[in-house]
């Protein structure tokens, strides 16, 4: 088992999977991240991250039904596992804690 | 809109399939396909394809790549021991087949080993020179008007001098000239020495090791000489040769250096080097010689040079071309051009080059021999393939069981490859013995071969041998392995009938046909070559050579020698000539027609008045030269008919008395002889003249009138040895000289004949194996037929009919191929040659047929004679 820390991009991908719900497969994840963050995301990078998340046990995958659009090949859909959800909320919690320490005006100065 | 039918690049798609883990593959393919379609719509087909390729390459990451099948390979390795064991058992069980295979392979491999050693030896030639890639020689091409170009390894000193002065980029250049040798005298010691003229840069360009003396000054002064350690030992016997004096051809030379004897693998060989300045001084002091050296004097001289770093030979060539064009413009009718040849290529370069300074094997004979060796090994390989496939029936059960237990196809395949390789390695051991057996035979075919090759085995050769044996094993075992590994376990183990397994019969038959076609081609080629040789030997040359012994004078005075030999009673008469005619060497000069407008080359031989009667040349008009001892001023010429035609001198009678300019002097035609072959039979009869110059004799022709040739020759030798202790007695019968001149055919005949013998042996062994096999498998059928009343004769006919048909087919293929090969390739440039007759073509076929019939017939007869009760009872 690899380390359970989440990298920045990993967190992004994991969140996108959660947000996309039933429609989370590689190409869709790519497009969604591009749409939200506005940065260009390479498919190969997303693939590598998905593979890593899978190894860490944060996501699981299953193959869908074959469609004509992909030359008859099935999509691999990803869902966030319980461990994934727990890690996500833990990250959010840590961030929230830190946020609360920051006085409001200071933030506005930045 | 999305354009229809555009697909991602196939190879990229396959590449992905090849490297990607199966569990990730489908998803990845789908994703890439989706992207491809998207880019196709947005940016067009080109962009989409490029992106697809980039993506496929990008995905080539550790997590996507298939795991190496280490486990599989490990089993292969473990199983190797088992393969080895089963192979040895199977070899042991089928003693006859294994013996046929091993013997056949060994015989043909020994020929290939010879070839490999020969090849490595030729490759090693001249490699001892430092930085060999930067060492070049200059070749010359001479063309008169628009006739054929003559090619020479020699060039002119004049060009060398201009190169040295005018062409930049040459780091060192040396000029050489041959024929510096002669008799070397030190005190009472005399030895003939083979020497070259060389200039002071000789040791800068060529890496011959100077043991004594200074390399930069050794060949600088006139009348200096550098001798090899071997020559030094002969001449000075342990004394220090440096600064001693050697008398060479009557002139004193100071020894300024001792060089190591040129190694065996040097194309250039010499016993001494004379400084080129000696020659320059001689020429300059000779008042008759003006403006020497000339550009067109390209017969005796050689240029070797090295280029500076960063300068390619083509740069030098461009400058040379300019010089040659400039100089050729000054010549009448003749164009001389040059080409730069790397020294490393001299040995393997083109073989049609005259004036070589030493040995040159040439590419073509090497390729020819390699091709022949390849055919022989091919034949033996076919034997293995054929017999293995035929016997695969017996091994199929083993394959079936292996497959059931879990062997993969690749494993079965490697098992049979291992078996074939074992056989070929066993053959290699035998082949090495064979190699030592045929090596002296090969070297003894021709003295030239012996001077080029040693054929010694070293580590390198042994390594090549092993690699070669493994290669042969893999190739020979490839088809049987492929065939056996393809079998399906179910069909082998379930069906009792073996009919399906016999489906490879067509393949086996075609292999047999190829084998026998090759054997036939060899045997026919050998007979034709022999016939051509005999033809040349017995050809009516137009003059008589019976009982004529030709004695090389080796520099002795012809008249003195004649006086000494005249005392021997068995010598009927003695005539003098410059060299031995019609055996390859020719001398030529320019002759002008009567009106002095046209000039052309005419070949000549200087003779005395006794030569023409002795050789029984037929005089058509005029008379022989007058009996004269020495001829101070030439007066007359005797021409042949062709010369009359060429120079338009009319009929023989008309020509007598006419004056022609010949070799820069006006001579009268005093006689005309009937045309005879003044060249070898390879070329047409050329215009030819006899000159009356007895003092120029290099050869004495002794007509013997005795039945005891051997003793007479000994007698003459004794007389020779008495007055010339220095030179070997060098006398050969004219007939033998002619035989030597056609040695090419005799060498061809011997080599091809030997290979023909081998291929026939191998092919017959294969046939024997097939015969045994057929008889064995059809034993039951034969017995049943016999019980039902078939006669032995009809059974033999039944069994051998298909084989004989194959042989017939082979003959039908082989005869036209060989005929064509000889008619239009090998003998095409022979002006006079034996016609290829029915006998030559069919003799081989008859031999093959009788051998085939004998092998097959004996086996089938054995089977047919067997008692049916014995075979049928065993069931």
Out of B671, B704, B729, pick the residue that ends a domain. Answer: B729
How far is the C-alpha of B371 from the C-alpha of B367, rounded, in Å?
6
The per-residue pLDDT for B465 is 93
Q: Chain B: nearest CA to A25, how far in angstroms? A: 9
How far is the C-alpha of B803 from the C-alpha of B513, rounded, in Å?
9
Instruction: With a cut of 80, say whether residue B596 has pLDDT above it.
Output: no
How far is the C-alpha of B595 from the C-alpha of B442, rounded, in Å?
56
The per-residue pLDDT for B510 is 86
Residue indicated by tokens 């007695």: B729
Angle at B619 between CA B588 and CA B550, to 5 degrees: 55
Q: Which residue has the higher pLDDT, B214 or B2?
A: B214
3-class secondary structure per residue, B148-177: CEEEECCECHHHHHHHHHHCCCEEEEEEEE
**What average pLDDT does the segment B303-322 reach?**
90
Of A26, A48, A51, the CB nearest to B31: A26
Q: Which residue has the higher pLDDT, B355 or B162?
A: B162
Residue indicated by tokens 């009996």: B627
The per-residue pLDDT for B543 is 83
Is B93 within the bounds of a domain?
no
Q: Do A48 and B61 touch (CB under 8 A)?
A: yes
**Is residue B261 classed as helix, strand or coil in its secondary structure?**
coil
Percent of chain B with pLDDT over 90: 11
Cβ-Cβ contacts under 8 Å, A47 against chain B: 28, 31, 59, 64
Q: Are B517 and B813 in contact (CB under 8 A)?
A: yes
Is B84 within the bounds of a domain?
no
Q: Are residues B181 and B330 in the same domain?
A: yes
Q: Do B37 and A69 touch (CB under 8 A)?
A: yes
Q: Are B868 and B787 in contact (CB under 8 A)?
A: yes
Q: Residues 14 to 33 of A: which have CB under 8 A from any B CB? A: 25-27
**Is residue B857 classed as helix, strand or coil in its secondary structure?**
helix
Q: Cβ neighbours of residue B793 under 8 Å, at least 6 residues apart?
A: none
For residue B583, what are the domain limits?
555-729
Q: Do A44 and B61 touch (CB under 8 A)?
A: yes
Of A26, A42, A74, the CB nearest to B26: A74
Tokens encoding B845:
């076929």
Q: Are B253 and B224 in contact (CB under 8 A)?
A: yes
- Per residue in B765-778, is it b (16+ CB within 10 Å) or e — as a string? bbbbbbbbbbbeeb
Q: Do B59 and A47 touch (CB under 8 A)?
A: yes
Is B67 within the bounds of a domain?
no
Out of B318, B345, B372, pick the residue that ends a domain. Answer: B345
The per-residue pLDDT for B498 is 53
Write the DSSP symbol of residue B242: T
The per-residue pLDDT for B225 is 92
**Least confident stretch, B200-214, B366-380, B476-490, B817-831:** B817-831
Angle at B667 between CA B665 and CA B673, to 5 degrees: 135
Q: Are residues B763 and B853 in the same domain?
A: yes
The per-residue pLDDT for B429 is 93
Out of B729, B757, B786, pick the residue that ends a domain. Answer: B729
Q: Are residues B703 and B748 in the same domain?
A: no
A87 touches chain B (CB under 8 A): no
**Is residue B548 classed as helix, strand or coil in its secondary structure?**
strand
How far is the C-alpha of B374 from the C-alpha of B25, rounded, in Å?
46
Q: Are residues B404 and B323 in the same domain?
A: no
Q: Chain B: nearest CA to A21, how far in angstroms? A: 19
Tokens encoding B427:
């053959």
Tokens encoding B634:
């030439």
Cβ-Cβ contacts under 8 Å, A64 against chain B: none
Which of B132, B843, B127 shows the shortest CA–CA distance to B528?
B843
Angle at A6 between CA A3 and CA A10, to 5 degrees: 120
Please give the tally of structural domains in chain B: 4
Interface test mutation site (partner A, options B8, B19, B30, B65, max chain A beta carbons within 10 A): B30
Strands (DSSP E) found in B663-789: 665-673, 688-692, 699-704, 731-733
Interface test mutation site (partner B, options A29, A31, A40, A47, max chain B beta carbons within 10 A): A47
What ipTM does the predicted assembly reach?
Answer: 0.83
Q: Do A47 and B28 touch (CB under 8 A)?
A: yes
Q: Chain A: nearest CA to B69, how far in angstroms? A: 22
Cβ-Cβ contacts under 8 Å, A42 against chain B: 58
The per-residue pLDDT for B2 is 44
**What average pLDDT does the segment A71-91 reach?**
87
**Least confident stretch, B55-59, B117-121, B282-286, B584-588:** B584-588
Q: Are residues B462 and B569 in the same domain?
A: no
For B720-757, write each residue's pLDDT tens digit: 888 777 777 888 888 888 877 777 677 777 888 888 88
Is B18 within the bounds of a domain?
yes
A70 touches chain B (CB under 8 A): yes
For B255-271, write each residue's pLDDT tens digit: 999 999 998 888 888 99
Q: Would strands B251-259 and B224-228 be described as parallel, antiparallel, or unpaired? A: parallel
Size of the A and B interface in Cβ pairs below 8 Å: 46
Which domains are present in chain A? Answer: 8-109 (1.10.10.10)
The per-residue pLDDT for B516 is 85
The per-residue pLDDT for B598 is 74
Per-residue pLDDT band for B1 (boundaries 50, 70, 90) equals very low
The neighbour count for residue B103, using CB atoms within 10 Å, is: 18
Is B263 within the bounds of a domain?
yes
How far is the C-alpha of B528 from the C-alpha of A94, rounded, in Å?
99
The per-residue pLDDT for B408 is 82
Instruction: With a cut of 90, say whether residue B240 has pLDDT above it.
Output: no
Q: Are B642 and B675 in contact (CB under 8 A)?
A: yes
The per-residue pLDDT for B436 is 92
Per-residue pLDDT band for A2 (boundaries 50, 70, 90) equals very low
Q: Which residue has the higher pLDDT, B306 or B536?
A: B306
Is B389 within the bounds of a domain?
yes
Q: Which helix (H) or strand (E) holds B530?
A: helix B505-538
Query: Which residue is closest to A31 within chain B, CA to CA?
Result: B35
Calculate the average pLDDT of chain B. 84
**What average pLDDT does the segment B624-643 reach?**
85
Cβ-Cβ contacts under 8 Å, B26 against chain A: 63, 73-74, 76
Of A48, A51, A70, the CB nearest to B34: A70
The per-residue pLDDT for A1 is 41
For B697-719, write each residue's pLDDT tens digit: 888 888 888 778 888 888 888 88
A62 touches chain B (CB under 8 A): no
Q: Are B135 and B201 in contact (CB under 8 A)?
A: no
Instruction: With a cut of 50, say whether residue A14 has pLDDT above it.
Output: yes
Q: Are residues B335 and B390 in the same domain?
A: no
Q: Chain A: nearest CA to B73, how far in angstroms? A: 28
Calculate the average pLDDT of chain A. 83
Instruction: With a cut of 60, say whether residue B565 has pLDDT above it.
Output: yes
- Per residue in B362-373, is it b (16+ CB within 10 Å) or e — as a string? beebbeebeebb
Which range is most confident: A89-103, B278-292, B860-874?
A: A89-103
Q: Are B604 and B679 in contact (CB under 8 A)?
A: no
Query: Which residue is closest to B25 within chain A, CA to CA?
Result: A73
Which of B430, B387, B436 shows the shortest CA–CA distance to B107?
B430
Percent of chain B with pLDDT over 70: 95
How remote is the C-alpha of B535 from its chain's centroid? 23
How far is the C-alpha of B253 from the C-alpha of A57, rounded, in Å?
96
Query: Which residue is closest to B60 within chain A, CA to CA?
Result: A44
Q: Do A70 and B59 touch (CB under 8 A)?
A: no
Q: Tell which phi-psi region holds residue B873, choosing left (phi > 0), alpha (psi between -120 and 50) or beta.
A: alpha
Q: Are A71 and B31 in contact (CB under 8 A)?
A: no
Q: Considering only CB atoms, which residues of chain B are within 8 Å of chain A?
A: 26-35, 37, 55, 58-59, 61, 63-64
The per-residue pLDDT for B175 is 92
The neighbour count for residue B197, using CB atoms within 10 Å, is: 25
Q: Do B30 and A48 touch (CB under 8 A)?
A: no
Asked if residue B429 has a cis previous peptide bond (ω within 30° of 0), the answer is: no
Q: Are residues B289 and B328 in the same domain?
A: yes
Q: Are residues B592 and B723 in the same domain?
A: yes
Q: Do B27 and A75 touch (CB under 8 A)?
A: yes
Which of B113, B118, B775, B101 shows the shortest CA–CA distance to B379?
B101
What is the number of alpha carbons within 13 Å of residue B283 lying toward its C-beta? 12
Of B33, B58, B59, the CB nearest to A70: B33
User: In sequence order, what are the beta bridge partners of B550?
Assistant: B701, B732
Supply φ then ψ for residue B463, to 5 degrees.
-60, -45
Is B80 within the bounds of a domain?
no
For B30-48, write each residue's pLDDT tens digit: 888 888 888 888 888 888 8
Instruction: With a cut of 60, say whether residue B689 has pLDDT above it.
Output: yes
Q: Are B475 and B422 in contact (CB under 8 A)?
A: no
Q: Are residues B148 and B52 in the same domain?
A: no
Instruction: With a cut of 80, say whether residue A109 has pLDDT above it.
Output: no
Q: Which residue has the higher pLDDT, B482 or B21?
A: B482
Q: Are residues B185 and B226 in the same domain?
A: yes
Of B29, B35, B61, the CB nearest to A43: B35
For B91-130, write each residue's pLDDT tens digit: 888 888 889 889 999 999 999 999 999 889 888 888 899 8
Q: Are residues B527 and B604 in the same domain?
A: no
Q: Are residues B781 and B699 in the same domain?
A: no
For A16-64, write each residue's pLDDT tens digit: 998 888 888 888 898 889 888 888 888 888 888 888 888 888 898 888 8
Q: Chain B: nearest CA to A91, how far in angstroms? A: 27
Q: Cβ neighbours of residue A30 under 8 Å, at least 6 residues apart?
A: A41, A43, A46
Of A47, A51, A71, the CB nearest to B33: A71
A71 touches chain B (CB under 8 A): yes
Is B710 within the bounds of a domain?
yes
- DSSP string for B623-685: -PPP--S--SS--EEEEEHHHHHHTT--SHHHHTT-EEEETTEEEEEEEEE-----S-TTS--
Cβ-Cβ contacts under 8 Å, A28 against chain B: none
Q: Do B33 and A51 touch (CB under 8 A)?
A: no
**Least confident stretch, B102-111, B193-202, B361-370:** B361-370
How far is the C-alpha of B484 from the C-alpha of B509, rounded, in Å?
18
Query: Which residue is closest to A44 within chain B, CA to CA?
Result: B59
């Amino acid at each position: 088992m690899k380390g359970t820390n989440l990298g920045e991009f990993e967190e992004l991908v994991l969140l996108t999977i959660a947000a996309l719900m039933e429609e989370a497969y590689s190409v869709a994840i790519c497009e969604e991240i591009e749409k939200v963050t506005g940065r260009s995301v390479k498919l190969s990078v997303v693939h590598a991250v998905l593979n890593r998340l899978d190894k860490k046990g944060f996501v699981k995958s299953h193959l869908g039904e074959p469609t004509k659009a992909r030359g008859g090949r099935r999509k691999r859909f990803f869902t966030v596992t319980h461990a994934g959800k727990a890690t996500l909320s833990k990250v959010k919690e840590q961030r929230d804690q830190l946020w609360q320490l920051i006085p409001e005006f200071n933030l506005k100065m930045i | 809109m999305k354009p229809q039918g555009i697909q991602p690049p196939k190879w990229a798609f396959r590449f992905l399939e090849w490297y990607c883990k199966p569990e990730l593959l489908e998803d990845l393919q789908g994703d890439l396909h989706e992207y491809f379609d998207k880019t196709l719509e947005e940016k067009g087909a080109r962009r989409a394809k490029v992106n697809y390729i980039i993506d496929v390459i990008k995905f080539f990451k550790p997590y996507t790549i298939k795991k190496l099948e280490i486990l599989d390979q490990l089993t292969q390795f473990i199983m190797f021991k088992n393969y080895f064991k089963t192979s040895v058992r199977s070899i042991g069980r089928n003693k006859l087949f294994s013996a046929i295979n091993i013997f056949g392979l060994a015989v043909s491999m020994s020929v290939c080993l010879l070839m490999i050693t020969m090849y490595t030896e030729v490759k090693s030639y001249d490699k001892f020179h430092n930085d060999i890639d930067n060492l070049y020689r200059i070749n010359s091409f001479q063309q008169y008007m628009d006739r054929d170009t003559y090619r020479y390894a020699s060039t002119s000193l004049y060009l060398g001098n201009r190169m040295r002065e005018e062409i930049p980029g040459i780091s060192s250049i040396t000029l050489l000239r041959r024929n510096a040798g002669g008799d070397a005298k030190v005190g009472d010691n005399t030895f003939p020495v083979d020497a070259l003229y060389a200039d002071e840069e000789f040791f800068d360009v060529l890496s011959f090791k100077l043991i004594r003396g200074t390399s930069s000054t050794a060949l600088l002064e006139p009348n200096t000489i550098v001798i090899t350690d071997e020559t030094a030992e002969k001449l000075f016997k342990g004394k220090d040769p440096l600064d001693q004096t050697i008398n060479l051809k009557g002139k004193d030379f100071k020894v300024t250096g001792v060089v190591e004897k040129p190694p065996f693998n040097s194309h250039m060989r010499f016993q001494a080097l004379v400084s080129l300045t000696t020659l320059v001084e001689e020429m300059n002091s000779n008042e008759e010689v003006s403006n020497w050296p000339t550009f067109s004097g390209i017969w005796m001289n050689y240029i070797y040079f090295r280029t500076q770093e960063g300068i390619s030979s083509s740069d030098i060539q461009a400058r040379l071309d300019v010089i040659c064009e400039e100089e050729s413009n000054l010549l009448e009718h003749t164009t001389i051009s040059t080409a730069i040849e790397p020294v490393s290529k001299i040995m393997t370069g083109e073989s049609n080059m005259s004036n070589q300074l030493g040995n040159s094997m040439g590419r073509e004979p090497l390729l020819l021999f390699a091709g022949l060796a390849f055919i022989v090994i091919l034949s033996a390989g076919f034997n293995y393939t054929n017999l293995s496939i035929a016997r695969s029936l017996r091994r199929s059960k083993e394959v079936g069981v292996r497959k059931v237990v879990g062997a993969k196809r690749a494993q079965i395949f490697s098992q049979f490859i291992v078996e074939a390789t074992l056989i070929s390695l066993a053959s290699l051991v035998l082949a090495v013995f064979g190699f030592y057996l045929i090596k002296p035979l090969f070297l003894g075919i021709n003295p030239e071969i012996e001077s080029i090759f040693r054929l010694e085995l070293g580590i390198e050769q042994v390594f090549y041998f092993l690699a070669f044996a493994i290669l042969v094993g893999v190739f020979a075992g490839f088809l049987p392995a492929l065939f056996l590994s393809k079998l399906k376990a179910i069909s082998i183990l379930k069906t009792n009938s073996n009919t399906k397994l016999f489906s490879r019969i067509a393949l086996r038959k075609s292999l047999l046909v190829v084998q026998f076609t090759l054997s036939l081609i060899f045997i026919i080629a050998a007979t034709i070559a022999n016939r051509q040789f005999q033809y040349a030997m017995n050809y009516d040359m137009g003059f008589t050579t019976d009982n004529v012994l030709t004695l090389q004078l080796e520099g002795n005075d012809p008249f003195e020698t004649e006086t000494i030999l005249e005392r021997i009673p068995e010598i009927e008469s003695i005539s003098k000539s410059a060299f031995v005619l019609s055996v390859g060497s020719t001398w030529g000069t320019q002759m002008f027609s009567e009106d002095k407008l046209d000039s052309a080359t005419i070949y000549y031989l200087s003779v005395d008045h006794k030569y023409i009667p002795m050789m029984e040349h037929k005089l058509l008009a005029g008379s022989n030269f007058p009996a004269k001892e020495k001829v101070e001023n030439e007066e007359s010429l005797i021409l042949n008919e062709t010369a009359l035609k060429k120079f338009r001198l009319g009929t023989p009678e008309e020509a007598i008395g006419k004056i022609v300019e010949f070799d820069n002097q006006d001579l009268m035609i005093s006689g005309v002889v009937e045309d005879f072959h003044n060249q070898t039979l390879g070329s047409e009869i050329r215009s030819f003249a006899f000159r009356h110059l007895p003092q120029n004799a290099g050869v004495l022709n002794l007509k013997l009138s005795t039945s005891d040739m051997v003793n007479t020759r000994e007698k003459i030798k004794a007389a020779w040895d008495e007055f010339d202790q220095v030179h070997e007695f060098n006398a050969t019968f004219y007939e033998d000289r002619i035989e030597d001149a056609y040695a090419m055919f005799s060498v061809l005949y011997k080599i091809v004949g030997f290979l023909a013998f081998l291929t026939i042996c191998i092919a017959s062994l294969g046939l024997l194996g097939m015969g045994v096999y057929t008889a064995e498998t059809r034993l039951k059928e034969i017995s049943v037929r016999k019980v039902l009343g078939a006669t032995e004769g009809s059974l033999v006919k039944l069994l051998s009919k298909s084989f004989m048909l194959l042989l017939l087919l082979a003959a039908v293929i082989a005869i036209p191929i060989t005929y064509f090969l000889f008619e239009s390739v090998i003998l095409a440039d022979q002006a006079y040659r034996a016609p290829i007759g029915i006998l030559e073509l069919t003799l081989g076929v008859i031999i093959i047929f009788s051998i085939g019939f004998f092998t097959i017939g004996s086996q089938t007869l054995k089977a047919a004679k067997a008692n049916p009760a014995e075979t049928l009872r065993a069931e």
